[in-house]
Structures are given as C-alpha cells and as structure tokens.
Amino acid sequence: MTSLLFGLSLAALLSITSLVIILLRVSPLTAPTQAIPAFFLSLFLAVGTVASLLLMLLWRLLPIHSWDTGKIVGISLRQGLFLALIAVILTGFFLLELLTWWIAIFIILMFVLIELALQQ
C-alpha cells in the first residue's frame, strides 16, 4: 500500500508542477489549440491526485466506518476524481461565461448524488 501512496504522491507533485508550468509559461493567446486542453488536463490531474490524497488522510483520521485500507483507497480515489471533474466542468463553464451560482450548485449536487448512490 505504501507504493500506491508513493505513486499517488509523485503523481500529485508532477501534476501540480505541470499545472504551474502551464499557467506561467504557456500563453493561450499564441497557442490556444495546445494551451487550453493542456490546462484542463493538468487541472484534472492536479485536483484529482491532491484531493485523493487529502480524502485518504481524512478517511483514515475519521473513525466513522470500519473500512480496510483497500476500501479507503478506492473510495478516496473515486471521490478525488469526482472533485476533479467538478473543477474541470466549473472551469469550463466559467471560461465559456455560462457559470452562475445555481448552475454550480446543480453540478456539485449531481456529483454528490452520484457519490451517494455509489455508496449504497
């Protein structure tokens, strides 16, 4: 299990580094065909890996459930990917100037309900 945590930590470090490089070095005005997909991909990877690590730590610290380590890792990875999808969708709506507060609430509520359905 430590190799999985090491791999996820390394992926988080690399994805955050790529997000910072894309934000600081790539101009969407000069190369929009490469910059925008790279930004969304690095945002997805950065949010997904960091959220998975934080949720894994949270589920280990909160003794609400008697889950084993494999179940904690699976649940935290799924929830981290859902948070990454939420971040990418909200960012896309913001860039298209379609984001309002109630659309953001609907998107978040949709993923919360999906997660609740998968927990059953």
Alpha-helical regions (H) of 26-68: 32-61
**Alpha-carbon span 105 to 95, nearest angstrom:** 17
Give me the number of domains the chain comprises: 1
- Please report, rounded to a whole number, the percentage of residues in the chain having pLDDT higher than 90: 62
Confidence of residue 1 (pLDDT cuts 50, 70, 90): low
pTM score, two decimals? 0.88
Residue 55 near residue 31 (C-beta atoms within 8 A): no
What domain range includes position 49?
2-119
Supply the pLDDT for residue 64.
76
Q: Which of 118, 32, 35, 31 is nearest to 82 (CA)?
A: 118
**Alpha-carbon span 118 to 31, nearest angstrom:** 40
CA 64 to chain centre: 24
List pLDDT tens digits, range 31-78.
Answer: 778 888 999 999 999 999 999 999 999 988 887 777 787 888 888 999
Confidence of residue 13 (pLDDT cuts 50, 70, 90): very high
Q: Which two tokens stand for residue 31?
A: 């190369």
Confidence of residue 28 (pLDDT cuts 50, 70, 90): confident
HSE, CB side, 13 Å, CA atoms: give it for residue 14: 8
**Alpha-carbon span 96 to 90, nearest angstrom:** 10
More confident residue, 4 or 93: 93
